[in-house]
Amino acid sequence: MQSRVIILADLDYFFAQCEELRNSALRGKPVVVGMYSGRTEDSGAVSTSNYEAREHGVKSGIPLFLAKKRLEGTDAVFLPVDYDYYQQISDKIMQVLRGYADAFEQVGIDEAYLDVTMRTSGDFEAAKALVQEMKRAVKSQVGVTFSAGIAPNKLVAKIASDIQKPDGVTTVLPGEVKGFLAPLQVSRLLGVGKKTSAKMEALGIKTIGDLAGYDPQRLIELFGKTLGVYFHNAANGVDNDIVQEAGEAESISRISTLKENTRDIAAITEKTNQQIEEISQELAQRDVSFKQVGIIAIMTDLTARSRMQTLEQPTRDLETLRRVARELFEKFLGDSTLEVRRVGVKVSQFTKEEKQQRQLTSFFQNG
């Protein structure tokens, strides 16, 4: 399978840039947007600041009184957070960006992932040109700049977007992923906070490269299965998470009525195999694999029952789906005495497989 082309666009110094947008007299001056707690005149924290203010060590999260002190003697402007206004600007920008994506996923108020694999035919040079076009469009239609990362997956695109700011672009080609990540601090990875990075440092793991080379079995012992597997995959630049609109269907399912009420597994699987045929086509269209299979049965008394199974590995194999659905129905019929009226099949937990990269799951299976 060819590599995906994923963009993460992150708006520059967003709240402060919005303030500059509505009042151009602010441009060139240090601008600090603060969350005032109201206890005293200066109590509260910095929400964000523009790059002029950052030169004085003023950044998100520091106390406002400290920001005041650091900006003493400058023509700095302090403003309170106006969330509704930033939301309006964000909505406009997201609408523009959405037009450039095969699939679009907004994250928070100032970031969005774009899957542009199809429209660029998987070509990263085309993606770079596309980002320049997006930048021009957002600048001319809304008046705001953003920085972007272009990479084979969301994890790397996000980290790349942080490298050149403001108004920058960083591209990481599929073959460059490991080398790009290796020298970076582990704290760049989502989920590695102060506590975790301290724990890792005590183990001699400082960089993402250190983490990538660390024994995965040991990581699981230290951090548990879920986190251990995630850390290993993330450090190796493996991330199959798909770009998906929040609220977009995260499952594919079919349900239909049987010719007659029955407890006959052959009659049931005849119906579900038709459904599975359709589900399989949709999986191919969306280019996703699934990890979870569910069945549903509506009984003659109209109660609904469901059963679910999570697979060892994601798959899109038709035979596997047929087999698992059949097994679930066989078990289910053993648990009930009623006849079945309607049946359904559902697949969920979608991923996009990057076959060329070694997966921890297969790593364990092969020893």
Binding positions for ligand DCP, rule: CB under 6 A: 10-15, 47-48, 60-61, 110, 165-166
Q: Is 110 exposed, middle or buried, given 0-12, 13-18 or 19+ CB atoms closer than 10 A?
A: buried
Q: Is 111 a catalytic residue?
A: yes
- Could you say which of ligand DCP, Ca ion, none residue 165 binds, taking C-beta under 5 to 8 angstroms by partner kind? ligand DCP
Cβ nearer to Ca ion, comparing 60 with 348: 60
Report residue 347 as tokens.
């697949």
Looking at residue 12, its amino acid is: D
52 part of the interface to Ca ion, by CB under 5 A: no
- Could you say which of ligand DCP, Ca ion, none residue 48 binds, taking C-beta under 5 to 8 angstroms by partner kind? ligand DCP
Q: How far is the CB of 105 from ligand DCP (least distance, A)?
A: 16
Backbone angles phi, psi at 140, to 5 degrees: -80, -35
Cβ nearer to ligand DCP, comparing 11 with 211: 11
CA end-to-end distance (rounded Å), the chain: 25
Cβ nearer to ligand DCP, comparing 8 with 360: 8
Stretch that binds Ca ion, among 8-16, 196-204, 269-277, 351-359 (CB under 5 A): 8-16
Residue among 111, 115, 239, 354 that touches Ca ion (CB under 5 A): 111
Number of other CB atoms surrounding residue 355 within 10 Å: 7
105 part of the interface to Ca ion, by CB under 5 A: no
Sole residue written with tokens 């579900």 = 272
Catalytic pick among 55, 111, 221, 319: 111
- Could you say which of ligand DCP, Ca ion, none residue 354 binds, taking C-beta under 5 to 8 angstroms by partner kind? none
Going across the sheet that includes 111-115, the strands are 103-107, 111-115, 6-11, 146-151, 169-171
User: What is the Cα–Cα distance from 352 to 117, expressed in whole angstroms?
Assistant: 12
Cβ nearer to ligand DCP, comparing 165 with 305: 165
Cβ nearer to Ca ion, comparing 14 with 290: 14
Q: How far is the CB of 220 from ligand DCP (least distance, A)?
A: 31
Q: Cβ contacts of residue 93 below 8 Å, gap of 6+?
A: 11, 138, 142, 144, 146
Report residue 272 as tokens.
């579900």
Q: How far is the CB of 196 from ligand DCP (least distance, A)?
A: 19
Residue among 19, 110, 115, 239 that touches Ca ion (CB under 5 A): 110
- Could you say which of Ca ion, ligand DCP, none residue 253 binds, taking C-beta under 5 to 8 angstroms by partner kind? none
Q: Cβ contacts of residue 297 below 8 Å, gap of 6+?
A: 304, 305, 306, 329, 332, 340, 342, 343, 344
115 part of the interface to Ca ion, by CB under 5 A: no
Indicate which residues carry an active-site annotation.
111
